[in-house]
Chains A and B, each alone.
Chain A
């Protein structure tokens, strides 16, 4: 299902922009294909309970991965290509959630201690203990008790009745604003973090960044090395040396060799 919000040319340009690390292009691409991703999530087969929002977020990650991999010169339409990676991302989330929580020995002992304390309190008082009473009985802090109880808590499904009754008049799903139904894509988009590609310039110190950005007009007007040197209190030649050094630093960072020991 292609995006009906974009022309083929627009889609093409956004994919290339997203691949190059353009955050704006990434966001627009996600915005355009979010209905398709939501559609995949809505019908995604899963034997475990998983929040639809989580599936959509994974689907977005899959879409952006596809954009970084997709060759626009090939004939496969982008969504036909990307939908595989969208579904794969969702599958991996479901597979991850289907795994039982692996508890440490210490956590297992903590849960056993909690279980015994709860049982003893119930027998003695005929009611459920509060977290404070459990804390006093076991010596565990309330934070520890909450963490241990969370490992036993299953995520609530959209279909689950609110009051536990067999015939509920409302479900958990009814209380959650449906971003699709209310077309609140903006809210969904805001909650989905689009990781910006790390800027190569982040590897440099502040002065090196200033020189490169100013000399090549990266986010600011282009300046000559003389102008740059003047603003930094340096000669043009010194500014040039800083630039050459910065480029060399980046080169070495990218091309660092492995420390192979000679006696292996």
Chain B
């Protein structure tokens, strides 16, 4: 069945309990798409990719294989990595099907972070003609993660059938619920903005050099901070202050503007498209974390390096 306009941003999940079950789903799913000219992507660890290369047979020559062993570092970077692959594939085919094995990790302290990633995934690529199935090995996966799968995917393939998830939650609301409130930081010092973006970058570069931040990271930070500052100028009535310092061992930079700010948990997570600004998408990829909050002295964007 050729993908229709209703299939844009289709995001499902597969809960599998054996490699056979994974193959029995993934091979027909991808082959059906290939038959009608869709692109196909398999994202898995190296053993999983080897298994799928064999299982797909001659179809494997038409599939893009992505090693995810090192992909799931931070949600924004993972989204960007997948987006890069989708961009390349959509340059060759009008639509695509993806099976992606999620590398969740077993530390409970980070489950909310990756559940939030799955929630925002629904929105990140909603504009793309792509049917993405996130795959989870249900054996040995903790119940809270499985519960998170049902909360973040409108449809889940379990057993031998697709099920509409009655636990699926609105992505924006779930993302907001799972995003921790920024905590107050003390010890940051004001460095001011300067007359323009160039002076702002000059001043920030001097601070970063004094902190002995690596050259690679300096450029990342200057680019990210420029995006934040441009946002503040264009949408926030101008930059009121810039503060820098350290917290949790990381370099922190706050850009305070004069505007009312926004309350959008998806800010910076939406893959580039018409009508959506790209500045925060860029900034999220280049930094450890971005936080946005209203403060007594203005709306604040906090960059963690």
Contact = CB atoms under 8 A, between A and B. Distances in A.
Interface string B202-234: 100110010001111111101100110000000
A99 B216 contact: no
B201 to A, nearest CB: 7
Q: Chain A: interface residue count, which band?
A: 35 or more
B110 A71 contact: yes
Nearest to A253: B282
Q: Chain B: interface residue count, which band?
A: 35 or more
B219 A216 contact: yes
Interface string A13-49: 1001101111000000000000000000000000000
B243 interface: no
Nearest to A81: B107
Interface string B292-304: 0000000000000
B223 A200 contact: yes
A158 B248 CA distance: 45
Given A20-B305, A65-B69, A251-B282, A76 B107 contact: yes
B69 A200 contact: no
B22 interface: no
B214 A17 contact: yes
Contact of B87 (A199, A257, A261): A257
B107 A92 contact: no
A197 B87 contact: no
A251 B90 contact: no
Nearest to A9: B249
Given A99-B51, A240-B198, A255 B282 contact: yes
A126 interface: no
B128 A199 contact: no
B220 A92 contact: no
Interface string A76-90: 100001001100010
A168 interface: no
B3 interface: yes
Interface stretch (B70-78, B141-149, B259-267): B70-78
30 contacts: A16-B250, A20-B214, A21-B217, A65-B69, A65-B70, A65-B73, A68-B70, A68-B74, A69-B72, A69-B105, A69-B110, A74-B107, A74-B109, A75-B109, A84-B106, A93-B46, A102-B54, A199-B215, A200-B219, A201-B216, A218-B215, A222-B205, A222-B206, A247-B222, A254-B282, A254-B285, A257-B272, A259-B90, A264-B8, A264-B95
Given A217-B209, A222-B209, A260-B129, 4 more contacts: A22-B216, A240-B198, A251-B282, A256-B87
